[in-house]
Structure 1
Amino acid sequence: MESARWNKMSISEQILNIGGEIQRAVDRKAQNEPKLANDYLEKALEWIRLTKDDPKNRNRIEEITIVEDELKDYFSSNKYKNDKNSIMSYWNSFFSAIF
């Protein structure tokens, strides 16, 4: 997605889009489908980067970076020992607040 289009979205819309891709990635990882999990993860990471680059989110960069790091860790070494529930509990809190 191009940044101009992404930047027109509210932070809520950006978070919902990212969260949807993360949900798909986490589900595919749990179903032992690494190729699909990685595809969804890459899209989520691209959208996270766009969110960090969006000028309206400059006060949120630290939190977004922490979330990005935890997500990358979960799909690699998992030194933070997250699981599907701990990853999704963060994103589900946004879903609950928005809906």
Structure 2
Amino acid sequence: MNLHHKELAQGRWGRLPFLEQMAHIGSEVERALSWKKKQNPAYSQMAFERSLELIDLTLDNVSGKARLKELARLREAIVDFFAGSNQFRSTENAWRRYFSPFTFAARRHL
């Protein structure tokens, strides 16, 4: 797999607070949603792949069973929404509602 976030993959990602990691993942998901709405599947796919890369980097650095479980489920649901049959019946609005608190909290802690 081609790394999009090379600097982050070299260890910088693991030093970011969890809230900030989730906010960055949410930004990529937001980009994927926006490009999907603009009917640009190539750009949407690239943003989707970047979000998966960030989720995987987070999974590599996660501590605690609850976070591991949530991140694994998050990855599964995002793949289902963007590349699968959407059997979880996710919506764009639901993804925005999920990530919005992380973005808000990360901004407050900067």
Q: Same fold judged by TM-score > 0.5? A: yes
Structure 2: unaligned runs, 5 residues or longer = 1-5
1:78 aligns with 2:86: yes
Q: How many residues are paired up?
A: 97
Aligned 8 A contact 1:30 1:84 in 2: no
Q: Give the alignment partner of residue 38 of structure 1, picking from 45, 48, 55.
A: 45
Cα distance in 1 between the residues matched to 2:92 and 2:35: 11
Which runs of structure 1 show a deviation greater than 4 angstroms over 4 or more consecutive aligned residues? none
Aligned 8 A contact 1:3 1:50 in 2: no
Secondary structure at the counterpart of residue 79 of structure 1: coil
Q: Which has the higher contact order (CA 8 A, sep 6+)?
A: 2
1:87 aligns with 2:95: yes
**Who is 1:29 aligned against?**
36
- Measured after TM superposition, the shift of residue 70 of structure 1 is 0.9
Structure 1: unaligned runs, 5 residues or longer = none
